[in-house]
Each structure stands twice: as structure tokens, then as C-alpha cells.
Chains A and B, each alone.
Chain A
């Protein structure tokens, strides 16, 4: 079975540009999570969806960040405008539930560098 698929794997862009990260969750999973990982702050939850509905976006750092899940098989995380401090690895994960009584399955991330 295919796991969580993220694209692109690497993104390098200049500050001020719009960045869109994409995620395809595992088929049948109804919860989707976006995380950001940095050396300083570790793995932080940005937002999660349950049945395509955003449940908690309190981790989204500021209004420059937005996330959508138009259907059960696709989600995007957008940064506009991007800043150098947004440089990090962004992970998407999916699960059959929005509680940690089920495993979260992670993609291999998008390594984002903002110059």
C-alpha cells in the first residue's frame, strides 16, 4: 500500500515568494496532520483536519500560513509571503483517528529553504 505522499521533496525559493506544499494521505484515513520540524523547536503540530474539516489550527504560526483539504485524498499547506525563518522540514501525516490511540503515518517531508 502507498504511504503518505508529499511533494515536492525539496523546495528552494526566495523570500516573498508563495510556497505550496502538497500531501496525499493514506486512502481510508480520515485525519490529516501538518507538522514542521526544526533543530531548535523539534516537531510542531501546525494544523489538523478530521473528515476534511480543520479542527485545530492553533499551531499555525501566523496569517501567512494557510492549509486546505478540499477532499479526502489531498491537502495543501501554503505560505505567502515566505520568509527565511520558515525554512524547515514540513511533514504531513495521516491516521484513522484524530487521537493518539491510533498510529500517525508520516510522509518523508518537504525540505523548504527560503533564501
Chain B
């Protein structure tokens, strides 16, 4: 069956460290993959988009990689801050159908 897997366990890291979140998928051939941030009681907010022919994308302290052979995307936050604490979701577009992962909660401790 088709599915997207994100680590359901919370990721706890110390302020200043790099946070790395994983998004694995099976049985999809996405043309695009996106990452969103969701805070409690709010809707998801778009962060980054990466295309299938791109290996890496950066935006300020954020970096996303996309390995279509491994069927995996990694999302990195460098120099993490307590304000980065949130749930991060990946989303992919597979032939005009859209799927979201269940998200990974990131806790950045001061």
C-alpha cells in the first residue's frame, strides 16, 4: 500500500544543534515534495518545496534533501532555536493526488 512515514516520536534536541527530520515514502513517484510547519491550534504553514530533479534546497537555516532512489527526504534546521519547536509535516504530490505525513514533533530545549 502507499504510505508516507515520518517519525511519530518527538525529536528532542538542545538549542544550537542541528535538527534532522525524515520523510520516507513507498509506492509513490512524486514530482514535488513539500515541508510544512504546524503549531498547536493552527493550520500548516508552507516552508520549502523541492522538485524530483533537485537534490537539495536551502532557505536561511533550513535545508531539504530529496533522494528519489531511497524514496526519502531529509529536513534540517541548523542552529535550532526554541521558537523552532513545532510539528513538521512532509507532503507529496503523486499524479495529482496529495498526501501528507503524520508529522514529527520537534522540541528544542534552551
For window 30-79 of B, CB contacts with A under 8 Å fall at: 30-34, 41-46, 49, 51
A43 touches B97 (CB 8 A): no
For window 80-110 of B, CB contacts with A under 8 Å fall at: 89, 91-93, 96-103
With known contacts A43-B44, A106-B43, A100–B101 Cβ distance under 8 A: no
Complex Cα distance A99/B20, Å?
A: 26
Interface of B is mostly: strand
Q: Give the B interface residue count (CB, 8 A).
A: 25
A101 touches B45 (CB 8 A): no
Complex Cα distance A42/B3, Å?
A: 12
Contact residues on A (Cβ < 8 Å of other chain), bracket:
20 to 34
With known contacts A43-B89, A43-B100, A45-B99, A101–B44 Cβ distance under 8 A: no
A106 touches B45 (CB 8 A): yes
B49 touches A101 (CB 8 A): yes
Complex Cα distance A38/B35, Å?
A: 19
Contact of A42 among B31, B92, B101 (CB under 8 A): B101
Q: Residue among B41, B43, B49, B100 with the most chain A CB within 10 A?
A: B43
| Chain A interfacial positions (CB closer than 8 Å to B) | 4, 33, 35, 42-45, 48, 55-56, 58, 91, 93, 98-109
- A sample of 11 cross-chain residue pairs with beta-carbon separation below 8 angstroms, ordered by A number, consists of A42-B102, A43-B103, A45-B97, A99-B32, A100-B33, A100-B34, A100-B92, A102-B49, A105-B46, A108-B41, A109-B43
